[in-house]
Amino acid sequence: MKDITTFLNEQFEAAAANLNEDGKVKSEKDFREFAEKMAKEAFGDKFDEDKFKETVDKFLDDNKDLVDDDNWAELVGKWEQGFTKED
């Protein structure tokens, strides 16, 4: 039998890998899961949950018009731009 920590970790990983059934961000919950997965991959051991929550809250607040319009594709694009390396 699995311990609860192992079970929860497996569930989290499955949710992060499959944001929803068709792999698209369609809600604020999906977006937050997507953004967290990207941030964890980018920052690794230096990932800070509190800073992440503050950052994503501000990002969504700054883009309230897109949130209100359910324009998750554009929000994903803007979020990804923040992780793009410039030469």
pLDDT band at 18 (very low <50, low <70, confident <90, very high): very low
pLDDT digits (tens, 9 = 90+) for 34-79: 999 989 988 999 999 999 999 999 999 999 999 999 999 999 999 9
Report d(CA 84, CA 17) in Å as an integer. Answer: 21
pTM: 0.70
Indicate if the pLDDT at residue 13 is higher than 70: no
Indicate if the pLDDT at residue 86 is higher than 90: no
Is residue 33 a contact partner of residue 16, using CB atoms and an 8 Å limit? yes
* Domain spans, the chain: 4-81
CB neighbours of residue 59 within 10 Å: 16
Query: Would you call 38 exposed, middle or buried from its count of C-beta atoms within 10 A (0-12, 13-18, 19+)?
Result: middle
